[in-house]
Amino acid sequence: MPLYEYECNRCGNRFEILVFGKTRPVCPNCQSEDLAKSVSTFATASGGGSKGESCSLRTSAGACSSGGGG
């Protein structure tokens, strides 16, 4: 389930929402379906990128620690 960021073309409200299947989200502010969609920064950062980039983002969680240390 991707997390998308939307901007409402009617009122300008920006919000994030999990998208389930073919669900069409609406603006929580004005209920408009006229939205501009982009993948949120969170979803992009945790979803890949270069090997070094992904590893540096996960280092604090220990997912990429390489031997030694402990």
Residue-wise pLDDT for 53-62, tens only, equals 444 444 444 4
Range of the domain at 10: 3-51
Structural contact between residues 38 and 8, judged by C-beta atoms closer than 8 angstroms: no
12 falls within a domain: yes
pTM for this predicted structure: 0.53
Which stretches of the chain score pLDDT less than 50? 49-63, 65-66, 70
- 18 in any annotated domain: yes
CB 55 within 8 A of CB 64: yes
Q: From edge to edge, which strands make up the β-sheet containing 14-18?
A: 14-18, 3-8, 35-39
Task: Give residue 42's pLDDT.
Answer: 60
pLDDT score of 19:
81
Q: 36 in a domain, yes or no?
A: yes
Asked if residue 59 belongs to a domain, the reply is: no
- The answer as to whether 11 is a domain residue is yes
Percentage of residues in the chain with pLDDT exceeding 70? 53
The total number of structural domains in the chain stands at: 1
- Indicate whether 57 belongs to any domain: no
* Residue 56, domain member (yes or no): no
In the prediction, which pLDDT does 37 show?
87
